[in-house]
Structure 1
């Protein structure tokens, strides 16, 4: 019998609805979310990385192990399990569901897969101590892989696979590619619509504000996608905004294909297209 703690990952391409599914499942199963997104760790990178919810500075402490005679630990679905304290661990709340490892670094500060794994394991241990089910949600495949395969990083490009620390259920969101309107797949339509919506919400102003605050444009460009093309527009490398946005959309289409390829070749991902499918899979896992 496998007695390792249970963890659920939700993966898929950009714009596939991972966070929405994660919040839905957390509400069903008493879970909390860890973001596995290499850009959401940075403060001020909000619209371009698709952060949701509202910021919060509270982080629940671990619940001490019960001593003999103490009352049983509260259930996953109890709203009072764990007393929030401020401890420097920033969260965001999406419909009262905490989401961790967001807004923990300033722009240009170093953060890599090793840092993610160390921080994610600390948060997972905290969730488990409070009888919460950890949901790892994101599209950075290397981050997900590091947790699932329990890699130990010993230096540059040096990793060692260790025995697993968790029982992991991997759920992937599959967006059909055979549904097309005006020559665009449904996923491409979602990507393009999201770019347009974020522009209306002020994504260009967000990038301009980062540059005005002194963030190195080359660092923003190195992040790719939204920050690359909007920065190149603002510094004059791409003079026409419409051209920058079209290049951004095409680049995001290609990025989504690379994400799908990664997750198809890494781990035992159970692909779903409806939320209720995921509910059944998680129930069977638990």
Structure 2
């Protein structure tokens, strides 16, 4: 019998955290973070990391497991998540993967194979030089021409991953977005729930979230990371830190950095929704109005899948 797995996805600021706590409490669950940035210690405000008092005694996994100077890959996420799913089931609990990093979530649902040795060090160095010469956006546009799906999934600031996607296509002739799929059959009895929202309302929530992050001390958090030597690392290429680093290093005013952060967050939410709709079989729930009613509908939907 396949092990049951509940997955909750959606764009940034749509309300995944509160919804996941409600569901995990109702169905005796534990939560595995499906977010590529919440793995980093000392990066709490900019990643909208759940606070201890918000967890409501629900165990959370894959949060605060890396120093901000370390890298974290989708292959590592997959390995750790699969072990956690087994462990949670062994304790007669229900695993929930909750997050907005679509590639990470899909790597577990469809058991991607990361074992192939499709690498070309010379090509990789050429692409690094191209990025240094012409910029991250120009490199990202290269990816758009050969693999539009990966272009939507991978942020241009994540140069390392953009280069990896280009490298896979260069070596194998196959798109990175297709390359790692084992099959479209999941090894789990999986139910995927998606939260969505009217665009203007979602964008308003994103803008308010950024204002709240600034009030909570995002700039001070970023300055401390910078002071501690966290420069040019994978972690601070994330939305929420790159923009503040541009302010710290004098490339943007404080006001422009905040506005750029809001704009980049809205664009990211749009990319997330596009990716989820193209890549995953999802039961969508629109949280624009009457959230309590929608939450009840989600509970009933899961009950129908479990019992």
Taking structure 1 as the reference length, what is the TM-score of the superposition?
A: 0.80
Following superposition, the deviation at residue 267 of structure 1 comes to 1.8
Q: Distance in 1 between matches of 2:245 and 2:59?
A: 31
Greater helix fraction, Structure 1 or Structure 2? 2
Q: 1:124: which partner in 2?
A: 85
**Mapping of residues 43-192 of structure 1, within 5 Å:** 43-54=41-52, 94-155=55-116, 156=118, 157=168, 159-162=180-183, 164-177=186-199, 185-192=200-207
Q: 1:281 aligns with which of 274, 287, 301?
A: 301
Give the superposed CA RMSD.
1.5
Unaligned runs of 5+ in 2: 119-167, 169-178, 288-293
Conserved 8 A contact 2:71-2:235: no
1:128 match: secondary structure? helix
Q: 1:9: which partner in 2?
A: 7
1:51 match: secondary structure? coil
Are 1:270 and 2:289 matched, yes or no? no
Conserved 8 A contact 1:42-1:104: yes
Q: Distance in 1 between matches of 2:77 and 2:271?
A: 21
What CA deviation, in whole Å up to 9, does each residue of 1:225-265 have, x standing for no partner? 21010011001111x11111111111111100000001101
Cα separation, partners in 2 of 1:16 and 1:210, compared to 1, 3 Å: same
Q: Distance in 1 between matches of 2:208 and 2:106?
A: 30
Unaligned runs of 5+ in 1: 56-92, 178-184
Are 1:204 and 2:225 matched, yes or no? no
Between Structure 1 and Structure 2, how many residues are aligned? 238
Greater strand fraction, Structure 1 or Structure 2? 1
Following superposition, the deviation at residue 152 of structure 1 comes to 1.4
Following superposition, the deviation at residue 221 of structure 1 comes to 4.7
Conserved 8 A contact 2:240-2:261: yes
